Amino acid sequence: MGYTATRGRLEGDVRGTLEQWLPSRLAPDGHTDFAISEFSAPDAGYSGKTVFFTASWLNADGERSEHALVLRTQATDHQLFTEPDSVRQAEVMRILGRHPGVPTPTIVLTERNSSVLGAPFYLMRRVHGRTPSDVPSWHKRGWTTELSASERESLCDNALRALVAVHRVDDQADLEFLRGPDTEGTPLERYVAGVRRWFDRSSDDLVAGRDILAAALTELEDHAPAADVETVVWGDARVGNMSFADDLSVAALFDWETASTGPPDIDLGWWLMFERYLCEALGFTRLPGVPDDDETVRKYVEFGGRLIGDISYFQLLAAVVLSLITNRLALLLVRDGLDADTARSYPTTAVGLAEQYYREHLHRRSRQQ
């Protein structure tokens, strides 16, 4: 999840450490003159420490080999999620990247031993492409606003097709890896139970929305759709976690920290909620070519996606999760020097959405009874 903010800094001489540690793990036998460029960092992102660099060396034949890489270290001082695991995220990308239509960055190596850089980390090859911005919203500023309506439609269609491809993954070994040891209840019940545990752990630290989130969670627990459907749940499915090539095809899918399993509606509900969070909730209007909620659902189904029930339930579920994330984010932003009012605006907007979805869902359910 991207936010423009002070990021956790890499501690110590990371570049020097990697210059000593990487050659035997990255370069071929017989190489010489191994070097690492200066680091650069993305403008946004708050769930991990990320830097870009180039590693190069002379091969045995004297030809220089250069590789654009991304170093992603596990957050230890500013994690948004309760149980960060950067190595698991890398393994998820390795697993899913084998499936048709699911492009993920190539993982170069993983290291779980914290003694190397002070935290687990992984290296992946840098993907050349453009990613729509969260802050400022891609609905208002940036390269996406310079596209034609037909180009934006193509971007959104390609993004939805990639999401459908994620949801087509049905390899049982892969699902078992993502599921973990918990097998009690349906996949949706397990997912909601995890959100409940998250809320209970963080309830005392919430800066906005405790009462409405508690009520929404009770609604979600008491009125979950009865379906035992399980596929990959990305957990942060949206165009802002995709890199697009020059032709607007999807070059890579990023940010798999919260990948799990469940019905595909979880991801589509998040997709719909997050676009409203970045657009209408901020007072913006969808740009020509960007589908509204109904059109997004229609196209998802047209492209081969299958849904189990009332999407309003899953939009509410998504808004509750975003509210928990942004509440945590607000605390971290204040700690890192941002004024409290600005920091609080993130969870306030998310909680406002949660309340809106809660009222809409109650109204829809009452009409169906």
Q: Read off the pLDDT of residues 22-47 as tens digits, 9 standing for 90 and up.
A: 999 999 999 999 999 999 887 655 55
Does the structure show a pLDDT above 80 at 4?
no
Residue 47 contacts residue 71 (beta carbons within 8 Å): no
**pLDDT tens per residue across span 221-243:** 999 998 889 999 999 999 999 99
Does the structure show a pLDDT above 70 at 81?
no
Angle formed at CA 118 by CA 113 and CA 124, multiple of 5 degrees: 70
- Label residue 39 exposed, middle or buried (CB < 10 Å: 0-12, 13-18, 19+): middle
From residue 38, how far is each of 3, 41, 106, 138 by CA, in Å? Answer: 23, 10, 22, 29
* Confidence tier at 7 by pLDDT (50, 70, 90): very low
Q: What 3-state DSSP class applies to 152?
A: helix
**pLDDT tens per residue across span 270-279:** 999 999 999 9
| Of 192, 211, 202, 233, residue with least CA distance to 325 | 202
Least confident of 48-52, 168-172, 353-357: 48-52
* Confidence tier at 11 by pLDDT (50, 70, 90): low
Q: Hey, what are 51's tokens?
A: 């830097």
Secondary structure element (H or E) that encloses residue 270, with its range: helix 265-278
